[in-house]
Amino acid sequence: MAVEHEPVLLEAVVEYFLPLPPAGLICDATLGGGGHTARFLELCSSCRIVGIDADPRMLRQARTRLADEPRVEFVHGWFDEVLRDRRGFDRILVDLGISMVHLKSGDRGFSMLAEEPLDMRLDPSGDDESAADLIQRYAERELADTIYRYGEERYSRRIAAAIVRERHRGIDTTTELAEIIRRSVPPAYRHGRIHPATRTFQALRIAVNHELDRLERVIPRAATALRPGGRLGIISFHSLEDRIVKHRFREIAGARHSTERVNEPILEEGRFRVVTRKPVTPEESEISRNPASRSAKLRVLERLEEG
C-alpha cells in the first residue's frame, strides 16, 4: 500500500491563509504528497498553484495524486532557488523537512530502523554528496561539529571519533552507521527515549541537503515574492529551524526598506508584520492522530498593503 503523508497543521494554515483571493496565486514551496495543495484547490476553484519539490520522486507522486491538475504548475527544484526568480504570490507555504514517504518507503537512508543505503539526498539527480560520502570526507572535528550543531547531540565527539575509527571499511548503510553510533554512546543513552542515532541522522540530513542555509535564503526571497497583502507561512519541526524563522521574520518586519540586516539585497521594498505572535502548534487531537506533527510550529509573516 502506498504510504500517505498526513498534512501537518492543515486547518491552522487554512485559517491564516483565508480568504484566498479569487484567481490568486499560491506557492506550495514543499509540495510533498500534495496534502496542503489539495486543500487549497478545494477552497479556491479559481486559484493557481506553483508546487515545488526538490525530490523528483515526490513531484511524480504529487502529480499522480493531483491527477495532473491543470491549476498546478509542478516545478522541480530547491525552493530558495525557484523563489529567487518568481514574484506575485498571494500565499506561500513552506512545510520543512521530509515526508512520511521518505521515512517509510524510502531507499534513501532517512530512517535508521530499516537497512537502506546511506544516501539522504532529497535530490539524487543534483550535485550534493551522499551521507556516506560526507562521512568519508569530513575531518573528525568537522564531523563532530556538524553532529553537535545540526543534531544538538551531546555525544557528538564520541560519535565522530567512532565513525572515523570505523570508516576505513566503508559505512554504506543506515544500520551499519546506527550500530556504530549505538556502541559509541554510554549505556544509559542507548536505552533512552529516542534511538541514540536519531540526532546524528538529523544532523547528516541537514548537512547533506544544506537545509538551514536554504531556509535562511528562502525567507527574504519568499517575503519579496509576496504581493502586498500576501502571506508567508512556515512550518518547522525542530528548534534550529524555528529559531531561524522567528529571528528572520522579526528582522524583516522591523527592517523598513532595509537590506543590510536581513543580508539579502533582494528585500528592497515592502513593509511586513509578523501575524503569529507565538508559533501555532498542533492540538492534542492532531498529535494523537499523527504523532509526526508533535514538534510542528507554524509562523506567519504578512506583507502589508501599500499606502
Binding interface with ligand SAM (CB under 6 A): 5, 7, 30, 32-36, 52-55, 58, 78-79, 95, 97-99, 122, 214
SS3 label, residue 117:
strand
- Reading the block at residue 301, the C-alpha cell is 509573516
Query: What is the nearest approach in angstroms of ligand SAM to the Cβ of residue 245?
Result: 14
Measured from the CB atom, the residue of 181 and 298 that comes closer to ligand SAM is 298
Cα dihedral 247, 265, 76, 3 in deg (nearest 10): 0
Measured from the CB atom, the residue of 83 and 171 that comes closer to ligand SAM is 83
How many Å is the Cα radius of gyration of the chain?
20
Contact, 274 vs 249, CB < 8 A? yes
For 177-202, letters b (16+ CB in 10 Å) and e give bbebbbebbeeebeeeeebbbbbbbb
Query: What is the nearest approach in angstroms of ligand SAM to the Cβ of residue 122?
Result: 5
Measured from the CB atom, the residue of 7 and 230 that comes closer to ligand SAM is 7
Sign of the dihedral defined by the CA atoms of residues 197, 200, 205, 208, in that order: negative
Measured from the CB atom, the residue of 181 and 240 that comes closer to ligand SAM is 240
Cα dihedral 52, 288, 109, 205 in deg (nearest 10): 60
Contact, 231 vs 21, CB < 8 A? no
Query: What is the nearest approach in angstroms of ligand SAM to the Cβ of residue 32?
Result: 3
Query: What is the nearest approach in angstroms of ligand SAM to the Cβ of residue 284?
Result: 20
Residue nearest to ligand SAM (CB): 32
Measured from the CB atom, the residue of 214 and 297 that comes closer to ligand SAM is 214
Measured from the CB atom, the residue of 34 and 196 that comes closer to ligand SAM is 34
Query: What is the nearest approach in angstroms of ligand SAM to the Cβ of residue 52?
Result: 5
Strand locations in the chain (E): 25-28, 48-53, 72-76, 89-95, 226-236, 272-274, 297-303
Measured from the CB atom, the residue of 79 and 249 that comes closer to ligand SAM is 79
Query: What is the nearest approach in angstroms of ligand SAM to the Cβ of residue 154?
Result: 27
Query: What is the nearest approach in angstroms of ligand SAM to the Cβ of residue 263?
Result: 18
Closest Cα partner for 90 from 31, 10, 44, 24? 24
